[in-house]
Amino acid sequence: MKKKIFLSLIASFVMLVAISFASCNGSNKQATEQDSIPACLEGVVGVEKFETKLDYSKAENWLEQPAEVTKPVDVFYIYPTVTGFRDPVEICDITDSVLVDGAQMVRRIQTSVFDESCNVFMPYYRQISMPKPGSDYSAIIDYISGFDATDALDYFLNNLNEGRPFILAGHSQGAATLIALLENYMTKHPEALERMVAAYPIGYAVTNDFLARTGLKFAEGATDTGVIVSWNTEGPANKDAKNVTLAPGGISINPINWKRDATYAPVTENLGSLTVTGELVTPGIADACIDTVRGSVIVTTADAKLYAIPADAADLFGPESYHLHDYGFFFNNFRQNVADRIKAFLEK
Cβ burial, residue 60 (10 Å; 0-12/13-18/19+)? exposed
Q: Residue 100 and residue 82: Cα distance in Å, rounded? A: 8
For residue range 294-328, list pLDDT tens digits in order: 999 999 999 999 999 988 778 778 999 999 999 99
CA 107-64-202 angle, to 5 degrees, is 45
pLDDT of residue 310: 85
Kindly state the percentage of the chain with pLDDT values over 90: 80
**Residue 61 CB neighbours (<10 A):** 18
Nearest to 80 by CA among 271, 337, 329, 325: 325
Task: Kindly list the domain boundaries of the chain, sorted by start residue.
Answer: 2-346
For residue range 167-200, list pLDDT tens digits in order: 999 999 999 999 999 999 999 999 999 999 999 9
For residue range 17-55, list pLDDT tens digits in order: 333 333 333 334 443 344 578 999 988 999 999 999 999
Q: Is-contact 178 170, C-beta < 8 A?
A: yes
For residue range 65-102, list pLDDT tens digits in order: 999 999 999 999 999 989 988 999 999 999 999 999 99
